[in-house]
Amino acid sequence: MELDMQSLIQLEISRRDLLISSAATVAVSGVAAEAAAQSPGNAMTYTTKISFTINGEIRDLDVDNRVTLLDVLREHLHLTGTKKGCDHGQCGACTVLVAGRRINSCLTLAVMHEGEQITTIEGLGEPGNLHPMQAAFVKHDGFQCGYCTPGQICSSVAVLEEIKADIPSHVTGDLTTQVQLTPGEIRERMSGNICRCGAYSNIVDAITEVAGTKT
């Protein structure tokens, strides 16, 4: 049975009213849910005040809860020695030391390190007063483009400390004789740090030299 024009008009009006009513219901529900989520006394916050020690200096910051330690170092504190490579924890260019342990700073949130001691490449040494590992990298040409070098050096420093921590306290001598540190072991321990220029053999030489002076 065919509908007359009046019936079609009424049908269209009813359809429009239904759509308007549905949209209004969704909007009201959304507002109500948001109001409940941010009710007085339980307001949502997006930033956190944190304090940690960077290279021996206490730094107080108010940062976005989602920001990585890498971005805080580079964008907030302007410590650009720490490099952003893959930003997925695969290359090691962003390696820093937290409480003496090496981590990929791109994989950790800044707010997770409240009160901790953090050392970047800038905190290891400076021109005229280089850390022994920095000096060894220069001596052995342990870099080419240099982009991965800060992470390589921080990781190298941590590797020797990790080895030293595993040695019984009564054993003396340099690390190369204490644990028979081989190029193969160094390469394995440094495997998380990628050098796209391929300076691996020189990096191993630099680490081996510094290991020979550690007691």
Q: Could you tell me the CATH number of the domain that includes residue 164?
A: 1.10.150.120
pLDDT tens-place string over residues 165-197: 877 665 666 666 566 689 999 999 999 999 999
pLDDT tens-place string over residues 94-133: 999 999 999 999 999 999 999 999 999 999 998 999 999 9
- Residues 131, 167, single domain; the answer is yes
- Residues 100, 132, single domain; the answer is no
How far apart are the C-alpha atoms of 6 and 67, rounded to whole Å?
A: 61
Res. 5 pLDDT band, cuts 50 70 90: low
- Residues 104, 175, single domain; the answer is no
CATH code, 52: 3.10.20.30
pLDDT tens-place string over residues 28-44: 455 444 544 455 555 66
- Residues 152, 215, single domain; the answer is yes
Q: Which two tokens stand for residue 206?
A: 């630099």
Report CA torsion sign: 78, 102, 60, 56.
negative
Mean pLDDT of the chain, nearest integer = 85
- Residues 140, 102, single domain; the answer is no
Provide the pLDDT for residue 177. 58
Q: What does DSSP say about strands 95-98 and 101-104: parallel, antiparallel, or unpaired?
A: antiparallel
Provide the pLDDT for residue 206. 97
CA dist list (Å): 196 to 91, 97, 102, 145: 9, 22, 20, 9
Residue listed under structure tokens 């924890």: 89
Helix (H) or strand (E) holding 9: helix 5-37
Split into its structural domains, the chain has a count of 3
Question: Of 82, 97, 124, which residue constitutes the final position of a domain?
Answer: 124
How far apart are the C-alpha atoms of 22 and 6, rounded to whole Å?
A: 25
- Residues 60, 85, single domain; the answer is yes
Is residue 128 helix, strand or coil?
A: coil
- Residues 95, 133, single domain; the answer is no
Residue 62 has pLDDT above 70, yes or no: yes
- Residues 49, 112, single domain; the answer is yes
- Residues 106, 60, single domain; the answer is yes
- Which residues make Cβ contacts (< 8 Å) with residue 125, sequence separation at least 6? 131, 134, 135
Q: Over range 6-10, report the average pLDDT.
A: 57
- Residues 40, 53, single domain; the answer is no
- Residues 28, 90, single domain; the answer is no
Residue span of the structural domain in which 193 resides = 127-215
- Residues 131, 211, single domain; the answer is yes
Of residues 77 and 43, more confidence is placed in 77
pLDDT tens-place string over residues 13-27: 566 665 566 555 545
